[in-house]
Every structure is written in C-alpha cells, then in structure tokens.
Amino acid sequence: MIDLGLSHFALAFVFCAFLVAGTVKGVIGAGLPMVAVPTIAMVLDPALAVSILIIPVVVSNVWQGFQGGHHRDAVRQFWPFLLCLFLFVFAGAQVLANADPQAMSLVMGIVVIVICVVQLLLGRVTIPPKTQRWLNPIAGAVCGIFGGVAGMLAMTIVYSVALRLPKDLLISLLALIALCGTTPLYLSLILNDVLGWREVGLSSLGLVPVLMGMVVGKWIRDRISQDSFERILFVALVLIGLNLMRKGLF
C-alpha cells in the first residue's frame, strides 16, 4: 500500500490537476486521464496518480456514455477494438504496478510527447471504414498495451478522432473506451495492492474539482474554437511530458 501522507502543496497541486483535467473533458469530451495522470505524476508516483482517478473516470464516463446515446452502435461497430483494448490494458498494467516509479515517469513522458506530436502533425488523418475492419483489433491491442504501461489511454483518443465518426457516436465510443480501458487497469492495481480504500477516498474527493471543471469546460466549449483549444492542450502536454522525462532521467 502506498502512503498517502501528502503535503499541502501536493494536495493543492492534485486539486488543480483534477480541475484542469475536468475542464478539458468538458470541452473535448475526452482527455481526463491524459491530462490528470502525467500532471499528478509530477508530484506523486505514477501508479498512485493512476489509482486516484478511479472515481472521476468511472462517474464522468458513465454520464458521458448516456449523454452520447449510441452505446449499441458503438459496441456493434467497434467490439473487436474494445475487446483487445480490455485484454491488453490488463497485461500492460502489470508493468505499471510493479515497475520503478522513476522509470515509469520516463516512459509516461515519452508516450505523452509521441502522442501529442502525432496529433499535432497528423491531426487530420482519416481512417476509412474498410481499413477499420482489420485495423480495429490491432489498434486496440497496441493502445491497450501502451495504455496499461503508461496508465492512460491517450493513444485511443488520437485513433478515435481519426475515425471521423458522427459527434454523438464518437462521444459514446470514447466513454466505452474509457470504461473498457480503465476497468482492467484498476483491477490490476487492486490485485497488486496499489489501489485500496485510502486511494478510493482521495479519488472521491477528486470528483468535486473534476465535475466543477466539466461545467467550466462546457462554458468554454460554447465560446472558443475546439481546434484551437486542442492545439493549446497538446502543446501544454508536450511540456508536461518533457518534465516527466526530466523526472525519470535525473
């Protein structure tokens, strides 16, 4: 079990990270772990940073999934992707739960930067329906193994955007991806004694700033260009990734 004796600075930092991550999710419908995990990992161990997201991730994505209203369509069209994601996240999470925190900071930083650079440079890439049929299970496996190791599903966001789905279907798919990806991740952390009741308690407190952020995010979404916000977001994440790499190297 990880000791949660946090300083006042660490608590304030984690609160702000939850608030910002919730705001991002309110604006683009995704990105809660992608923003919160690497940010919180700047002051906490990576495995703990993943653990304390359990309540905000589950609550926000169940709500988002119902809001999208296309669960059955998403499952019918993308079940190979979701199944492979579920299985390979569990495998990758075994590494996260047992690896050296400094090494995981380095891995997490590299993954964040690679994902962000790909999105910035290739953000308009489109995957046609014929390609999706054979690519979905492969993409699910790749996204799953990296998602389990890094403790976040940032790669799935890039892949989902490239599918160019209708808005409501995309919202439902992102919610299912989050639930299918985080369930085996948290199960692995429980089995490895990384996620316990104290982590759940801190996670429950984190739900408050996340929900506050989601309200703020919706307000922002109604007033600025989503493309502009996404680019600013990914640039900020690159800076976070670089700091995580520094933390892992020095």
Secondary structure of residue 95 in the 3-state scheme: helix
pLDDT, residue 6, reads 72
Instruction: Give the separation between CA 14 and CA 100, rounded to whole angstroms.
Output: 21
Per-residue model confidence as pLDDT tens digits over 59-107: 888 877 666 567 788 889 999 999 999 999 888 888 777 777 777 778 7
Instruction: Give the separation between CA 73 and CA 71, rounded to whole angstroms.
Output: 6
Check pLDDT > 50 for residue 139: yes
pTM confidence score: 0.72
Q: How many CA atoms lie within 13 A of 141 on its CB side?
A: 4
Nearest 5°: the CA angle 238, 88, 204 is 65
- 138-149 burial: b if 16+ Cβ within 10 Å, else e: ebbbbbbbbbbb
Q: Where are the domains of the chain?
A: 8-249
Amino acid, single-letter form, for residue 215: V
Check residues 228 and 54 and name the one with the higher pLDDT. Answer: 54
Per-residue model confidence as pLDDT tens digits over 24-54: 888 877 778 878 888 898 888 888 888 899 8
